[in-house]
Amino acid sequence: MKSMVIGGMILIVALMTGTYFVAGDSFSLGEDYINDLTMLAGLAIITISTMTVLKYVNQMKNDKAGGELVEENWDGIGEYTNPIPAGWGLIFIGSIIWMFWYFFVGYPTNQFSQIGQWNEETLEYQAKFEEKNKNIDAAGLRAMGESVYLVQCAPCHGVEADGSNGKAHDLTKRISKEQVVNVINNGANNFKTAYPGGMPAGMASGADVDALAAYVAGGLKGEKPASWASCSSCHGEDGAGMPMVAPSLVSYNDDLMVSVLHDGKKGIIGAMPSFAGRLSETQVKGVAEYIRSIGGK
């Protein structure tokens, strides 16, 4: 035991020296009591931990189990009715007390936090931004939208908004034939913010699917397929959509862009994440205006 105590003291001194060598520049007695307390707490933990380990190592080497066995056993293995070690019980109770102290006194959840301050300042700035730009004209919206697009959207959709060779949706046109076919066959419920009802699958079948897809992807130009009636009841005869019912099939109007950026979107190419909370209402309208200005209609 004597050799273990000597070894433990040597270990404590070594760990203290190493701690001071790594973080000693923050230990300036009397100048910053928070750093002083932190350093002293570290030294206390090193000492207590080392002595505790030595105590239990010594017990494992020298102590023998004893006491009254319980009647139950498992494959000849039984348990003693000995009480738990007093130290363990005190640590357990102390941890619970410390938990309540930490949450209600040491660092209560309603105290100052940097995250809370950041959120408050962000909301305040967004309110000022919206007030400043509430009467912005179309040219200003386009300029704002282009700036937002190049930062937030271009990494996937490309600087030219052409979808980066199939990596993302081609924003220079409203929708592709393949996308229309996928929605008709599988339905869609991406735009819950603006169009909560979604679209059921199987609105057309057979050759009608191909005819509708070609008509919609072509911008609703040319002769209308006979099956267009099943689409126009929600999307409108001109395909411009109906509020809270179905999105426009011919343009990226503001309602559609608000819903896409808020809810995200999943289609045949992949999934687009939600941008909820990252863009203001004016910025969303700006992105919509910019996409329409580059051919996205």
| Cβ-based neighbour number of residue 266 at 10 Å | 12
Nearest to 250 by CA among 171, 169, 173: 173
Nearest to 250 by CA among 283, 219, 227, 215: 219
Query: Average pLDDT, whole number, for the chain?
Result: 86
Helix axes of 33-62 and 2-23: crossing angle, nearest 10 degrees:
160
Q: What is the mean pLDDT of residues 149-166?
A: 92
pLDDT band at residue 214 using 50, 70 and 90 as cut-offs = very high
Range(s) of the domain holding residue 22: 1-63
User: Based on the domain organization, do 171 and 281 belong to the same domain?
Assistant: yes
User: Based on the domain organization, do 290 and 155 belong to the same domain?
Assistant: yes
- Tell whether 81 is covered by a domain: no
Q: What is the mean pLDDT of residues 167-180?
A: 91
H or E segment to which residue 265 belongs: strand 265-266
**For position 24, what pLDDT does the model report?**
62
CA-based radius of gyration for the chain: 34
Q: pLDDT for 85-144, tens place per residue?
A: 788 889 899 999 989 888 887 776 667 777 778 888 988 998 899 999 988 999 999 999
pTM above 0.75, yes or no: no
Q: pLDDT for 19-62, tens place per residue?
A: 777 766 655 655 666 677 777 788 888 888 888 888 888 887 88
- Tell whether 89 is covered by a domain: no
- Tell whether 68 is covered by a domain: no
**Distance in angstroms (rounded) separating the CA atoms of residues 175 and 241:** 14
User: Based on the domain organization, do 41 and 149 belong to the same domain?
Assistant: no
- Tell whether 41 is covered by a domain: yes
User: Based on the domain organization, do 158 and 30 belong to the same domain?
Assistant: no
User: Based on the domain organization, do 157 and 284 belong to the same domain?
Assistant: yes
Contact between residue 145 and residue 287 where contact means Cβ atoms under 8 Å apart: yes
Counting Cβ atoms within 10 Å, is residue 196 exposed (0-12), middle (13-18) or buried (19+)? Answer: exposed
Q: pLDDT for 253-276, tens place per residue?
A: 999 998 999 999 888 888 899 998
**For position 32, what pLDDT does the model report?**
64
Q: What is the mean pLDDT of residues 153-164?
A: 93
**For position 33, what pLDDT does the model report?**
67
pLDDT band at residue 154 using 50, 70 and 90 as cut-offs = very high
User: Could you give the number of structural domains in the chain?
Assistant: 2
- Tell whether 169 is covered by a domain: yes
Which of these three, 46, 63, 80, is where a domain ends?
Answer: 63
Terminal C-alpha separation, the chain: 85
**For position 93, what pLDDT does the model report?**
95
